[in-house]
Chain A
Amino acid sequence: MKFKNDIKKSIFHFEEGYSLGQAINEADRCLLCYDAPCNKGCPAETDPGKFIKKLRLRNLKGAIRTIKENNILGGTCGIVCPTDKLCEEKCLATGIDRPINIGKLQRFLIEYGWQIGFNPITKKEDKNIKVAVVGSGPAGLTCAAELAKEGYNVTIFEGNEKPGGNLRYGIPPFKLTHDFLDREIEDILSLGVKIQCNSSITGKDSIENLLNKGFKAAFVSIGLTNPYRVNIPGVNLKNVITSSDFLRDVNNRNIKKVSDIIKKKNIAIIGGGSVAMDTVITCKILKGNRVYSIALESQEELPADRADIHKAIDYNVIIKPQSKIKEIIGKNGVVIGVRGIETEWIKPQDFSPSNIREIPGTEFSLKIDTVIFAIGSGPDPKIKDELPSVKFNKKGFIDISKKTYLTSVKGIFAGGDIVNGPNLVVNAVEDGKKAAKSIMKFLKEQIK
């Protein structure tokens, strides 16, 4: 059975959100819990218990205000969050039948606000203090908005042509359209935040130098731009790519280039997270033939949102859990297949690749034309030149004080994936919020 909106014909077909009536129906199922557990499931403290109660009592503007005040990217989070592992995991309505669709309610309220022209976010008097933000992904956008609300003069430096970071280039458009993202960024621009695109802060000392150019503090949220590949034989063959490059091409509408390696091809996607699911579904919409998601985790351990996994299954994606690719086979420099084996964990609850054991006799080989790695990204190796005085940890991420988000250099703060490694959008929002608070505290002390 096919449900409305379920099977998309185009990667640009953006699923519709709730209507007012559907949202009211869904909110009516909410138990309006005391000390609502859903709130504790949201790293950004978006406060679903409160905004759903407000929606239930038809205080729609108040509900929108609750979301936007707590999470300036509330609409986007409503769409991209793996809610089944966050707020909805804690939802007690599950004890009756199923959790409240909090993500969709959140998205609805933000879209409703746009529809009625209601912007609840206000800005305090200009403090005339300049702060730089490097990188316009979710952490940078949130930090900038929080600072701007308090009257700070914020400029975001973005290397790409358009703002949004992974929100724009790392998520397929059927999941989050550029129009939606642009509209949410507009809310941030309305606070007076300036975004300078096409302006990579590159070169030696470049980020640290911002402090000499009139900026009283800088927040580094440049994300991870160096997609990982597993070092196995054949990894450098033609048609072995990364989800990061693939989704960037899709978002830049290089459809011809992408189709050449996807249409009617057999594709192996290595990974089982949200990005892997986005990638397999995109491949299927682009008429990929046999599309595999091959992951070390078991089906129930897959880190992707459950809804995304089910969607992938609806698209006839073949999920191969607890499996490992050992070799990519090539002919004349081009991929023609993969060889792998089934695996199991040695110790439970340790999902690192070093913790797997191969199961003899489960070897398999697949006829594959394209291999896409969707196993996350690491920091750009050049970053250390741009931040020569900043300390990095063993994994290559920026070292910060967990409490203050301050790096080893006074005035330079950092947050998001460049600090944590690959993580959720909502965690980046959390970092942006907390870092902004700390930056403001720092600036107040400086001015004293």
Chain B
Amino acid sequence: MKDLSITICGVKFPNPFMLSSSVVSNTAEMIARGFEGGFGGVSYKGIGGPHIEIINPAPRMHSYNYGSKKMVGIQNVEQTTDRPLKDNINDIKWLKKNYPKNVVMVNIMGFNKDEWRDLAIISEDAGADILELNFSCPHMSVEGSGMKVGQAFELVREFTEIDRNAVKIPIFAKLTSNVTDITEPAMYAKEGGANGITAINTVRGLIGVGIDDFVPYPNVFGKGAISGYSGPGIKPISLKCIVELAKKKELSLPLIGCGGIETWIDAVEFLLSGASLVQMTTSIIRYGHRIAEDLCEGLSYYMEDKGFKKVKDIVGKALPNIHETSEFDLSRQGAIQFDLDRCIGCGECYIACQDAGAQCIDWDSKKRRPIPDETKCYSCMICSFVCPIDNPPLITFKEIKGKKIYMPPSKM
């Protein structure tokens, strides 16, 4: 196994994989098992002030399925921790005592200035290595909390500043994607003294509505709510947010990626896009702590294959390749290539090309084979998405030097 450690803001993580602040980090017992399973750190489930009693709705979550694939995502209406503050503090102390090599970040969410300060101090005293300020929960029922802070940028700065002045440990602001431009609140957090950014929290969403009772999921006794959507379905959004934050030169803070990470490949993509660490919940809900083994092993082999010595060396490697679309070289064109020896003749490519593509694939009904015409192909590639033959794909893209783009003639 390669050395997977990475040091962020002076805190050394044994590996870049963390449990995020959520149901998977609710108690020391759970987190201890996560550490034993191989996770390098945790963001301890969001703690709030002692005077607001948190009662979670029932049921709390609902799975979003696609075809026979269950849990493409999860929608939850879970609140911050409902455990007494004392218990959480004792658990944090216990974790630091028993797992000194693992990093305990504590996620806090205050409902007023004093609370933000008090929670920060209590956490630091309990032994927290890092603070994570929750400016992003998309469904807190208490006004002036969670995502509503993340959307009111002045408050982001104000609360960050309060905590920056209250404690010495590094502070990360956990942001929501439910804004036009995530780099704006990130800059406010930086101004308030944040040392890093965690992005993103769950995305405000609605995974479905009961078509018999007209109640959205999860159905909380006849009521549904727009709330936090997580899992593989949001990965493109969270990855985008990391790229935006990483490319913001004025920000230049360490980033923790979060949202839809399940395999070591997902994790490497986040690292390549500028995150130094990654956090997970939905994938742990799906598979349990045992995913840590595969994350670590997968990353280690990847580093070996690619010749990376340190995890740090991977961070941001893809950023130079991420541009505005206006910078594309439009003089270079290409077309689909078929490896017809491996074709089984289902004709899915033909249907896709006819109904949604360039109509550049014809069909030999006797042989049951597609007849591609690369001069008409405009490289949408949808045929390759529906082709059932993969690894390696049967339909690929190839540059064709000097290719002119074919324009379908008008019917009139």
Q: Which A residues fall within an 8 A CB radius of B?
A: 21, 24-25, 27-28, 31-35, 37, 56, 92-93, 95-96
Contacts and interface: CB of A to CB of B under 8 A. Distances in A.
A132 B69 CA distance: 51
Contacts of A32: 346, 348
Nearest to A57: B67
A56 B351 contact: no
* 10 pairs of A and B residues whose beta carbons are closest in the complex: A34-B347, A95-B344, A31-B346, A28-B68, A25-B68, A33-B346, A28-B67, A92-B346, A92-B344, A34-B351
A32 B349 CA distance: 11
Given A33-B346, A35-B368, A56-B67, 16 more contacts: A21-B68, A24-B67, A25-B68, A28-B68, A28-B69, A31-B346, A31-B348, A31-B388, A33-B345, A34-B363, A35-B347, A35-B363, A93-B388, A95-B344, A95-B345, A96-B344
B172 interface: no
Interface string B153-170: 000000000000000000
Contacts of B389: 96
A56 B69 CA distance: 12
Interface string B324-367: 00000000000000000000111110110000000000010100
Contacts of A96: 344, 388-389
B64 to A, nearest CB: 15
Nearest to B352: A34
A56 B84 CA distance: 47
Interface residues of B, number: 15
Contacts of A34: 346-348, 350-351, 363
29 contacts: A21-B68, A24-B67, A24-B68, A25-B68, A27-B68, A28-B68, A31-B344, A31-B346, A31-B348, A31-B388, A32-B346, A33-B345, A33-B347, A33-B348, A34-B346, A34-B347, A34-B350, A35-B347, A35-B368, A37-B345, A37-B368, A56-B67, A92-B345, A92-B346, A95-B344, A95-B345, A96-B344, A96-B388, A96-B389
Interface in B47-72: 67-69
Contacts of B344: 31, 92, 95-96
A35 B348 contact: no
Contacts of A37: 345, 368
A56 B68 CA distance: 9
Q: Which among B344, B346, B348, B350 has the greatest number of chain A C-beta atoms within 10 A?
A: B346
Nearest to A58: B67
Interface in B222-238: none
Contacts of A92: 344-346
A96 B345 CA distance: 11
Nearest to B389: A96
Nearest to A25: B68
Nearest to A37: B368
Contacts of B388: 31, 93, 96
Contacts of B345: 33, 37, 92, 95
B295 to A, nearest CB: 28
A53 B1 CA distance: 47
A37 B368 CA distance: 10
Contacts of B363: 34-35
B236 to A, nearest CB: 23
Nearest to B351: A34
A31 B368 CA distance: 14
B65 to A, nearest CB: 9
Nearest to B70: A21
A51 to B, nearest CB: 17
